[in-house]
Amino acid sequence: MGSEQPNILLIVIDCGRSDRLVGPGRHTVTPNLDRLASEGICFPTTITEKSCTSPNFSSLLTGLYSPRHGVQHVFGCKLPETVPMLTRELSQRGYHTYAEVSGPLTDAIGLGRGFDQYDYRLPCDYLDTRWGELFLERMRGGYYKGPWFLMLHLWELHWRRRVLPEFDKPEAGRDQYERAVSGLDAQLGRVLAAIGDDTLIAVTADHGECVTADSYRAGTAVDYTCKLLGIDETQGSPLAVGYVAGPGVLQAFEADFQERIKGMRFRDGLVKPTFTRWDRWADRLRLLWLLPFVWTHDLFALRSPVKLTAMLKRRGVLDEDRSRRRVQRLVRFVGHEKILQMQMRLWISSYKSFLKEGHTVAVYDFLTKVPLVLRWPGRLPAGRVIDRMVRQVDIVPTILDLIGVHGQKSGQIEGQSLRPLIQGGPWESRPAFLSVSGVLEDLEVHGVRTEEFWYTYGPYNPDMPEELYDLRADPDQITNLAAAQLDRCRELRTLAAGFVPANGATPMDLISIKPEDEQRIEKHLQELGYIE
C-alpha cells in the first residue's frame, strides 16, 4: 500500500443496517454489494454513536464523537467552524472534494465547508430518478476533477422506503426495507460501472434502522421515556406541515427549541403539553406561516425530481438566514410560552413516529451497527471479512492512512486507522461511545460498546434504567444484566463518562486537547484493559 492518489468514493447509505446489507443469512438480493465485498474487505461490526444522521455524519468527517464536535441532534445544531474536518487533509494533498447529500444535511449543518463543492438535493431525488441520470452522466463525463474525493449520501432506505416496482416481491425481501435494499443494490451497480477500477471505494451507512422484527422491551430506557412523555396519550401531529416547510425551517425551528429546553426536566415539574383537537389545529395554522411562498407555475415542480430542489432553492427554502427569520417572526407573533408548548407537542409526536424507525430514540445494535466495505484493487486484500468491532470515527482516518496521509495530524481525533488491523499487525479495538442526546436532560442516554458488552445509563437521571448486555452470549440484547453485574456497570459507566468533557467545556475548547489529558485518557483505557 503506497502513497498513491487514487480517486476515492465514499458511499454512505442512510439507514443501512449491517445485517441486511452484508454477510450470510440475508433475504436481500445484493449481487453488487456482494461482489464489492468479495473484491475487498468487509467489517460487518462498525458502530456509530447515534441512530440519527447529522451527528453521525459530523463524526464520520471529523473523527470525533458528538461531545467534542457539538452536533447532538438531527436538526438544530451546527458544526463549529473551529472543529477541523478530515477532508482538509485531502485538499492539502491536492484532492478536489465533492459531496452529494440529502435529508437533513443542508448547508446549515456546517459540513459544507469541508468540501470544494457541496451539492444538496431533496430526498425525492434517488438514483433511479432524473437526478441519478444526471449524476451518472457527471461521473462518466469527467465532471469530478481528479484526483477526487466524493461523498455520496443515498436516501433510498430511509422511511418511506424507495421500493422499485421490479423488486416489490417476496423474492427480493420479506418486507419493504429488504426490498428497498435489493433495489438500491441494482442502482449501486450502475454507479460502480461508471467509475474506474483503480478507485478506492468505501461503502458504509450513517446508522441502522428499526424493522418489523425489532421491538422495545419493558423496563428499558425507551420504555421509561415513553411513559414519561405519555406517548400513549399523544394524538396525531402536524409534522407533515413542518416537513413541507423544508429542512432549512426545521433546522431553525429545532435550534430555537434546543435553546429553550436547556436545563428543563420533567422530573423538576415541567408540565407536559396538552394534545386537544384545538391544540393540534392551532399548531397546523401556525406552521402555515412557515410554508414557502410559491407561484402557480412552481407547483408543476412538486412531483419532478431535480426541478423541485431547484425551485425550493430559488424560493429561499434552503437558505439558513431566511429560514431563521421566518421562525423568529412566528415566535414573535405566537409568543414564547405557546411556541414552547407547540414545540413540545411536535417533539413528543415525532418521538412516537420515530419509534417505528428507531431514529434518535435508542442505540441498540440494530440501530447503530452498520457495514463497512473497503475495496482498492491491487492495494487491499480481497475477500476478507474482519469480525472485530470497529467504529464510524475510524473510517476516514483509515482512508487517509491508506493513501499515505496520517489523519491524526488533523487534531486529537478519537478515530484510529484500521490499516494495522488490515495488515495483521498489532491493533486494539477501542470502545465506541453511544448516546441519545439533544433532548431534555432527564431523557438523555450515554453508554459504551466494546467487543464483549453493551451498556447505557442516564447521566442526568438516576431513574433512567441501566442496561447491560453480554454481546457474545446475548447478541440480540434480550437479557439485561445490569442488576446482577454492578461492578461491570460502574466500570463501563466510567469509561463512557470519559468521552464527555468535564466542567462544561465546549467543542471549541476541546480541539486543542493538552498532551497530558491525552495521556490520562490512554492510561485509563489501559487500566481497564481496552488497549495495551
The domain limits of the chain are 8-210+362-423, 221-357, 451-500
Supply 69's cell numbers. Answer: 464536535
Cα(457)–Cα(399) distance, rounded to whole angstroms?
33
Supply 515's cell numbers. Answer: 498532551
Average pLDDT score over residue span 346-366: 88
DSSP strand pairing (445-449 vs 453-457): antiparallel
CATH assignment, 8-210+362-423 = 3.40.720.10
Nearest CA to 443 among 459, 455, 432, 456?
A: 459
pLDDT band at 513 (very low <50, low <70, confident <90, very high): very low
Higher pLDDT, 4 or 90: 90
In this prediction, residue 379 carries a pLDDT of 92
Average pLDDT score over residue span 301-313: 67
pLDDT band at 528 (very low <50, low <70, confident <90, very high): very low
Residue 242 near residue 283, CB atoms below 8 Å: no
- At residue 300, does pLDDT exceed 70? no
Residue 40 near residue 380, CB atoms below 8 Å: yes
- Tens digits of per-residue pLDDT, 114-141? 999 999 998 889 999 999 999 999 999 9
Whole-number percent of the chain with pLDDT over 70: 86
Cα(87)–Cα(115) distance, rounded to whole angstroms?
7
Cα(67)–Cα(435) distance, rounded to whole angstroms?
10
Average pLDDT score over residue span 482-511: 82
Name the average pLDDT for the chain.
87
Nearest CA to 49 among 394, 480, 351?
A: 394
For residue 446, the cross-strand partners are: 435, 457
pTM of the model: 0.90
Give the position of cell 435550534: 255
With both helix axes pointing from N to C terminus, report the angle between 221-229 and 336-357 in degrees, rounded to the nearest 10: 140
DSSP strand pairing (445-449 vs 432-436): antiparallel
In this prediction, residue 328 carries a pLDDT of 87
Q: How many residues does the chain have?
A: 532
Average pLDDT score over residue span 362-372: 97
Bond from prior residue into 147 cis (ω within 30 degrees of 0): yes
Supply 303's cell numbers. Answer: 412531483
Cα(390)–Cα(316) distance, rounded to whole angstroms?
40
pLDDT band at 345 (very low <50, low <70, confident <90, very high): confident
In this prediction, residue 508 carries a pLDDT of 46
State the DSSP H helix or E strand holding residue 298, giving kind and residue range, or none if neither.
none
Phi, psi of 293, deg, nearest 5: -80, 125
Nearest CA to 393 among 430, 422, 439?
A: 430
Residue 316 near residue 292, CB atoms below 8 Å: yes
CA torsion sign for 419, 425, 426, 432 is positive
Neighbours of 214 (CB within 10 A): 16
- Tens digits of per-residue pLDDT, 477-494? 999 999 999 999 999 999
- Tens digits of per-residue pLDDT, 38-76? 999 999 999 999 999 999 999 999 999 999 999 999 888
Nearest CA to 291 among 332, 330, 344, 333?
A: 330
What letters, b where the CB count within 10 A reaches 16 and e where it falls short, cover 1-17?
Answer: eeeebbbbbbbbbbbbb
In this prediction, residue 311 carries a pLDDT of 67
DSSP strand pairing (390-391 vs 41-47): parallel
Phi, psi of 203, deg, nearest 5: -120, 125
- Tens digits of per-residue pLDDT, 427-453? 999 999 999 987 788 899 999 999 999
With both helix axes pointing from N to C terminus, report the angle between 247-260 and 336-357 in degrees, rounded to the nearest 10: 110
Nearest CA to 16 among 35, 31, 30?
A: 30
In this prediction, residue 46 carries a pLDDT of 98
Amino acid at 354: F
Average pLDDT score over residue span 403-431: 84
Nearest CA to 324 among 247, 401, 378, 437?
A: 247
Integer CA distances (angstroms), 308 to 153, 155, 304, 351, 362, in order: 18, 16, 6, 28, 33
Neighbours of 406 (CB within 10 A): 11
Phi, psi of 449, deg, nearest 5: -120, 130
Residue 392 CA to its chain's centroid (Å): 10
